Amino acid sequence: MSTLIDQLFQELVTVLGIDTLQPNEDGHCTLMVDETLLLDIELDPKREQLILTSLVGPLSSQQGIKQLSSLMQFNKALYKELNMSLSLETHTASIVLTYSVDAGLCTVFDLESALSCFISQIEKCRHLLESTQEDSPPKNSMLNTAICV
C-alpha cells in the first residue's frame, strides 16, 4: 500500500476520532455515518486515490424515464462541478454515488472536506430520488443546490 495513501487515511481516522478502522486486504473499509449512511472507502495505491462509494437508494420500477431523466441531469451537475458520479448497481437496481479523491494533491483537511461534501451529496441524491418517486414533478431546483462550496 502506498505510504501517502496509508498516511492520509490514518490521519483522517485520527481527525474523525475513530478508534480502529483498517482496510481489508483489498484496500476497502466501511464507515457508518449517523447510523443512516454506509460509506465504502477504497484505498487505490496504483492511482493514489481514495474512492468513496455509497448506496443512494433503489430505483422506482414505476417511475422509469421520469426518474432516470432527473438523476441523469443531477449526475451531469455532480460530475461537472464535483467530479462525482451516479451509477446503477444492476443486481439491486439501486443508485450508487462515487467520488474519487486524488491523494497526491490533498491534505488530511482536504480529505475531511471531501468526505463532508460527499455525505452532503448523498443526502441530496436521496432527496432527489425520493422526490421523483412521488407523483409531483421532479424538483429541478435540486440541481442548483447540488454543489457544495
Is there a domain that residue 149 lies in? no
pLDDT for res 134: 62
Compute mean pLDDT per 10 residues along the chain, 149 residues long, and list them: 74 84 85 89 88 91 78 92 93 93 88 94 91 57 44
Considering the entire predicted model, what is its pTM? 0.81
Q: What is the rounded distance in angstroms from the CA atom of residue 76 to the CA atom of residue 55?
A: 18
The DSSP bridge partners found for residue 126 are none
CATH no. for residue 89?
3.30.1460.10
Could you list the residue range(s) of the whole structural domain that residue 51 is in? Answer: 3-144
Q: How far apart are the first and last CA of the chain?
A: 31
